[in-house]
């Protein structure tokens, strides 16, 4: 969740388009969060039980990355089922657009391709060039929204005549400069990636296949930082890490900063054990098989795979737990 919180913060802060301090209302921020970060699945253009839309991911209904899967962890959701993985949600919307375009292109009759943003797309009307209307209104046409927050949705639309937004020369120059900076930054990052990987490979060879402590610590920090917030919380409590004050960082959960500080002081052995816990924590909370797993993937989850590698008899563990629970239920 750290990335999403930073994105919400960016919306409120000055940027290249708004260099001065922005004045964002609570309503605007709330709308941004629910349109771009915590998305209400009840308003999605696709069905939550549609497992065929993106087969490798499966249906939203069986996904753990939503507030409805663990409502006790999200009291602020107030009973809503909110998606916590906007990247996956975006991919589903893109897949829905492809599906509906294919259906419309193979059918009879024309339709409009429209968007809810100002981005220019070939053959598509941006938000300033169309208006939503009722089916029976004069000039109404079937329309597929292919861009913006409502992409994938079918509606009826009319073209707006006589209005087209033209960017100023200053805006176009600013966009070109930004693209140049992004290209340079991307090239620098790629070159650094290649040099770091080459040096790391040499370092691993020199250390008999082991990561030096500094790199190991960096890997652990990155791994922990990418865990879901609720998994960070569970690991933090299991480790007994001391939590900072609530107001230490308003954009970051206390268990995220607690983990970062603890890892910075950990000896290498404990870091290796923590990496194992980070790799297994999601499966520890999983009480059913993963419906989005590829057919060629093994059916056993990471936890059972680890048990097998370490020579743990899972059948004996299952039998012991079942017997204990039967005794407790008497």
279 and 265 in a common domain? yes
Residue 66 lies in a domain: no
Residue 9 lies in a domain: no
Residue 132 lies in a domain: yes
Burial 223-248 (b: 16+ CB within 10 A, else e): bbbebbbbbbbbbbeebebeeeeeee
Looking at the structure of the chain, the number of domains it has is 4
223 and 293 in a common domain? yes
Query: Which of 208, 232, 263 is the C-terminal boundary of a domain?
Result: 208
Residue 172 lies in a domain: yes
Q: Are 151 and 93 in contact (CB under 8 A)?
A: yes
Separation between Cα atoms, residue 47 and residue 69, nearest integer Å: 16
At 168 the pLDDT is 80
Separation between Cα atoms, residue 113 and residue 300, nearest integer Å: 44
CA torsion, ordered 292, 296, 299, 301, to nearest 10 deg: -70
Q: Which of 125, 123, 132 is nearest to 165 (CA)?
A: 125
Q: Are 39 and 82 in contact (CB under 8 A)?
A: yes
Residue 188 lies in a domain: yes
The answer for residues whose C-beta is within 8 angstroms of residue 169's C-beta and 6 or more apart is none
309 and 238 in a common domain? no
154 and 187 in a common domain? no
284 and 239 in a common domain? yes
At 292 the pLDDT is 41
Residue 34 lies in a domain: no
203 and 241 in a common domain? no
Q: Are 225 and 2 in contact (CB under 8 A)?
A: yes
Separation between Cα atoms, residue 230 and residue 286, nearest integer Å: 13
pLDDT by 10-residue block (mean), the chain, 330 residues: 60 57 67 71 89 91 88 79 86 92 87 88 87 91 90 91 70 91 92 91 87 90 87 87 66 79 92 92 66 48 89 91 85
Query: Which of 152, 182, 208 is the C-terminal boundary of a domain?
Result: 208
Residue 260 lies in a domain: yes
183 and 225 in a common domain? no
At 122 the pLDDT is 82
Separation between Cα atoms, residue 73 and residue 80, nearest integer Å: 13
DSSP, res 243: P
Burial (CB < 10 A; 0-12, 13-18, 19+), residue 166, is exposed
281 and 256 in a common domain? yes
Separation between Cα atoms, residue 229 and residue 65, nearest integer Å: 11
The DSSP secondary structure of 175-210, one letter per residue, reads HHHHHHHHHHHHHHHHHHHHHHHHHHHHHHHHTTT-
The answer for residues whose C-beta is within 8 angstroms of residue 292's C-beta and 6 or more apart is 55, 56, 57, 58, 62, 63
At 249 the pLDDT is 52
What are the pLDDT digits (tens) for 17-50?
554 555 677 777 776 666 666 788 888 889 999 9
At 299 the pLDDT is 56
Measured from the Cβ of residue 305, the count of other Cβ atoms closer than 10 Å reads: 14
Query: pTM of the full predicted structure?
Result: 0.46
184 and 161 in a common domain? no
Domain range for 199? 167-208
DSSP, res 22: P
Contacts by residues 238-242 (CB-CB < 8 Å, ≥ 24 positions apart): 238/277, 239/274
**How many whole angstroms from its chain centre is CA 137?**
40
287 and 217 in a common domain? yes
The Cα-based distances of 159 to 21, 121, 128, 146 in angstroms read 36, 16, 9, 16
The answer for residues whose C-beta is within 8 angstroms of residue 270's C-beta and 6 or more apart is none
Query: Which of 208, 238, 270 is the C-terminal boundary of a domain?
Result: 208
At 156 the pLDDT is 94
283 and 245 in a common domain? yes
Bridge partners of residue 40, in order along the sequence? 82
Residue 239 lies in a domain: yes
Record the tokens describing residue 252, joined without a space: 């970051």
């Amino acid at each position: 969740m750290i990335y999403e919180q930073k994105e919400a913060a960016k919306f409120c802060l000055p940027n290249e388009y708004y260099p001065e301090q922005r004045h964002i209302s609570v309503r605007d921020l709330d709308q941004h969060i629910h349109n771009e970060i915590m998305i209400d699945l009840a308003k999605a253009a696709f069905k939550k039980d549609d497992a065929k839309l993106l087969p490798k991911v499966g249906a939203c209904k069986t996904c753990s990355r939503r507030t409805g899967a663990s409502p006790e962890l999200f009291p602020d959701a107030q009973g809503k089922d909110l998606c916590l993985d906007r990247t996956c949600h975006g991919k589903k919307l893109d897949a829905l657009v492809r599906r509906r375009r294919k259906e419309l292109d193979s059918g009879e009759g024309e339709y409009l391709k429209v968007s809810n943003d100002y981005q220019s797309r070939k053959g598509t009307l941006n938000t300033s060039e169309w208006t939503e209307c009722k089916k029976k209104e004069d000039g109404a046409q079937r329309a597929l929204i292919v861009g913006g927050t409502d992409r994938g949705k079918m509606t009826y639309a009319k073209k707006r005549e006589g209005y087209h937004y033209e960017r100023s020369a200053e805006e176009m120059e600013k966009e070109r400069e930004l693209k140049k900076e992004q290209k340079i930054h991307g090239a620098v990052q790629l070159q650094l990636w290649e040099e770091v990987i080459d040096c790391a490979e040499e370092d691993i060879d020199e250390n008999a296949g082991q990561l030096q402590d500094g790199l190991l610590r960096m890997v652990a920090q990155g791994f922990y930082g990418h865990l879901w917030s609720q998994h960070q919380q569970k690991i933090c409590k299991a480790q007994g890490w001391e939590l900072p004050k609530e107001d230490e960082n308003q954009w970051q959960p206390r268990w995220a900063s607690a983990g970062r500080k603890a890892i910075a002081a950990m000896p290498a052995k404990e870091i290796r054990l923590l990496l194992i816990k980070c790799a297994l924590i999601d499966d520890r909370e999983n009480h059913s098989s993963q419906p989005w797993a590829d057919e060629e993937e093994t059916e056993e989850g990471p936890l059972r795979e680890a048990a097998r590698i370490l020579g743990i008899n899972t059948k004996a563990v299952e039998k012991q737990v079942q017997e204990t629970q039967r005794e407790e239920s008497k």
